[in-house]
């Protein structure tokens, strides 16, 4: 099978199998326009991200062979907890965050959804403050405005981890 060469922002080159490369809408678009012999530059993708993405595809292929199901084609619903747990354990919040952006940039739908599930899993128990910190969001409520919303949704602020 034809290999597609990509180069990440830090100069690292990777060879991807064509069918895997085509899972990225962004890469596919540029392949449609140019020869497959060219190296595709990915200035927004770091090499560690590329490693993770390849890891994902490799795992999916493994599981597809093992279970005889085309996971890529399903493209919906909850995914492979097996690989999800692996992904989860060595990705810090910041790294997950960056990877999410990159996968969105590359247009790899199936991985994006999985990462979103992961992100949501990590975020759902957070307090408002830690949520702001994680996503670097500007706090723009006045104390009065915030107090008003908190009163309307006081039930949402009750819980063992989140009581402030």
Partner 1 sequence: MATSEEEHPVDNDNLVDNDSEEDQFDDIAEQHIQSSNELKVVDLSDVVCSNELKVVDRSDMFGRDPRKRTAPVDVPSDEFPHKRFKQNMEIQDVVMEHALYFLPAKSLCRFKTVNKEWDQYINSPFFAHQQTHSFRDISGLFCQLPGDKPSFISLDQDAYGIPSPSLSFLPQPVTLRTACNGLLCCQSCFEQNSYYICNPVNEEWKVLPEPNFYHGPDQSALALAFEPSALNFAAHFELVCAFSLSLTDQPVICFEIYSSRSRSWRLAETVCSELDALKLNGDGIFLKGVVFWETFAGAILAFDLKEEHYGILSLPPNSGPQGVLTEMRGELCYILPVREGNSYTLEIHGDMDMNLKHIIPLNLGFLSHTHQESIRVLACVNDDAVVILFGDRVIAYNMKARTVETLRDIVIGNYNGEYNAGFAKYLPYVNSLVHVRSSYITSLLSEDPTTSYSYLKSP
Answer whether 114's CB lies under 8 Å from 76's CB. no
Task: Give me the 84-123 binding string for partner 1, x by CB under 8 A, dash otherwise.
Answer: ------xxx-xx-xx-xx--xx-x----xx-xxx-xx--x
Interface pick for partner 1 out of 48, 59, 61, 71 (rule CB under 8 A): 48
Q: What whole-number distance in Å separates Cα of residue 60 and Cα of residue 106?
A: 18
**Quick count: other Cβ atoms within 10 Å of Cβ 118?**
19
Kindly indicate which of the ranges 2-10, 15-23, 64-72 contains the residues binding partner 1, using the contact rule CB under 8 A. Answer: 2-10
CA separation for the pair 108, 161 (Å, rounded): 34
43 part of the interface to partner 1, by CB under 8 A: yes
The interface with partner 1 within residues 54-73 (CB under 8 A) comprises none
Query: Which residue among 2, 10, 70, 88 contacts partner 1 (CB under 8 A)?
Result: 10
- Determine the Cα–Cα distance for residues 96 and 142; give it in Å rounded to an integer: 31
Distance of CA 146 to the CA centre of its chain: 31
Separation of alpha carbons 11 and 34, rounded Å? 21
In the list 2, 19, 69, 135, the residue contacting partner 1 (rule: CB under 8 A) is: 135
Q: Is the dihedral of CA 126, 127, 128, 133 positive or negative?
A: negative
Tell me the HSE value of 121 on the side-chain side, using a 13 A CA sphere: 14
CB of 125 to partner 1, least distance (A): 4
Tell me: does residue 5 bind partner 1 (CB under 8 A).
no
Q: In the complex, which residues of this chain contact partner 1 (CB under 8 A)?
A: 7, 9-12, 25-26, 29-30, 33, 40-41, 43-44, 46-48, 51-52, 77-78, 81, 90-92, 94-95, 97-98, 100-101, 104-105, 107, 112-113, 115-117, 119-120, 123-128, 131-132, 135-141, 146, 149-150, 153, 155-162
């Amino acid at each position: 099978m034809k290999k597609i060469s990509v180069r990440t922002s830090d100069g690292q080159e990777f060879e991807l199998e064509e069918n895997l490369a085509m899972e990225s809408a962004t890469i596919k678009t540029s392949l449609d326009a140019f020869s497959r012999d060219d190296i595709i530059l990915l200035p927004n993708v770091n090499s560690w991200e590329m490693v993770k993405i390849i890891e994902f595809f490799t795992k999916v292929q493994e599981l597809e062979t093992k279970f005889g199901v085309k996971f890529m084609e399903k493209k919906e619903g909850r995914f492979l907890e097996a690989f999800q747990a692996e992904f989860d354990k060595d990705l810090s919040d910041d790294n997950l965050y960056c990877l999410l952006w990159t996968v969105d940039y590359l247009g790899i739908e199936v991985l994006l959804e999985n990462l979103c599930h992961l992100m949501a899993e990590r975020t759902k128990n957070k307090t408002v403050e830690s949520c702001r910190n994680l996503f670097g969001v500007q706090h723009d409520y006045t104390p009065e405005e915030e107090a008003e919303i908190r009163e309307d949704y006081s039930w949402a602020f009750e819980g063992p981890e989140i009581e402030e």
